[in-house]
Chain A
Amino acid sequence: MSEAWREFREGAVDIAPILVAGVPIGLLWGTLAAGKGLSPLEAGLTSATVFAGSAQFVAIELWREPVPWVLLTFTVFIVNIRHILMGASLSRHIGHIGRRWHPLMMFLLVDEGWAFAERRALSQLLTASYYLGLTLPLVGVWTTASTIGAMAGRSLGDPAAYGFDFAFSAMFIGILAGFWKGPRTGAVLAASAVSAALAKLYVPGAWYIVIGGLAGVAIAALLHRDENTA
């Protein structure tokens, strides 16, 4: 087995639990999209090209006739502004990967895949194969589940009744565990959680993600001690 294929498989194995959790979330989004009048093809196209769960949920919430495409585009941009921070962080680990891979890697940048890629980079060299092993199955499963959800439409019933709406949160809690490095991580998480929850309550729109992220980063910078510099 070639080295690249082995790396790809390791990525796919690491992301497998996320794929399982992603199916009901994708189905849920597809049913909501169908409810707003999107065809299965349009729902699938959205998931394949936008490929951003939280932004898609916010967008479908705002969807109406006539389609407010300027509002949708702007709102999705705000929800996804965190990608700029994520990309900035990830760019530190891909310097050795050929530049022709970069546009594709950027397109596939998504919370879950990125979290595993960052975790990998803590212990070893991040390869393009491992990254694609994480993210290609994600975009495939997400697109397929959304399309099926839109075909099934309302016949699936209310996914909240099965707790599927909470799968997203439980998944993130599980991923967060991999980033625990002691009390300072606790301080970062507390700062982020409190500011994001408050911002969600008092700041209109989807700014809470960026506000929480920056609060956590600010606390980390404040607590920084030079002897800890690796």
Chain B
Amino acid sequence: MTLLAIFGMALATYATRAGGFYLMRGVRVEGRLKTALDALPPAILMAVIAPTILATGIAETLAAAITVGAVLLRMPLVVTILTGVVSVVLLRMVV
């Protein structure tokens, strides 16, 4: 049953990965459609983390704001991630 579940999950995931590639093949992308598709990467990334940073707790929301601060200071990605992780640990102690 475990192997069946792993196989099912792998197949379902590959279907989503291959689906989009073939769906849009040969479609000319320009104008409004191009603007929409260009907005997709940031929109998806934001949607994945939004529940964590907006609807989990004050510590997570504040830590996210501090992480944005590190981004605005143009810190390297590793420093940005560390800033977020350290902030959330400290904030969870006090709030």
Q: Which residues of A are interface residues toward B (Cβ below 8 A)?
A: 17-18, 20-21, 38, 42, 45-46, 49-52, 54-55, 59, 66-70, 72-74, 76-77, 80-92, 102-103, 105-107, 109, 111, 114-115, 118-119, 161-164, 166-177, 179-180, 185, 188-189, 191-197, 200-201, 208-221, 223-224, 226, 228-230
Given contacts A69-B1, A169-B52, contact A87 B17 (CB under 8 A): yes
Residue B15 lies at the interface, judged by CB distance under 8 Å to chain A: yes
What does DSSP make chain B's interface, helix, strand, loop or mixed?
Answer: helix
Kindly list chain B residues whose C-beta atoms are within 8 Å of the C-beta of A70: 8
Asked if B15 contacts A77 (CB within 8 A), the reply is: yes
Asked if A170 contacts B41 (CB within 8 A), the reply is: no
What does DSSP make chain A's interface, helix, strand, loop or mixed?
Answer: helix
Name 10 interchain pairs, CB-CB below 8 A, sorted by A. Answer: A17-B77, A82-B44, A83-B19, A87-B21, A163-B88, A166-B84, A192-B50, A210-B47, A212-B44, A213-B44
Q: Beyond the given A54-B48, A90-B21, please list 13 additional residue pairs across the A-B interface where CB-CB is below 8 A.
A: A49-B7, A67-B4, A77-B16, A88-B20, A89-B20, A118-B41, A163-B85, A163-B88, A177-B71, A179-B42, A195-B47, A201-B55, A221-B33
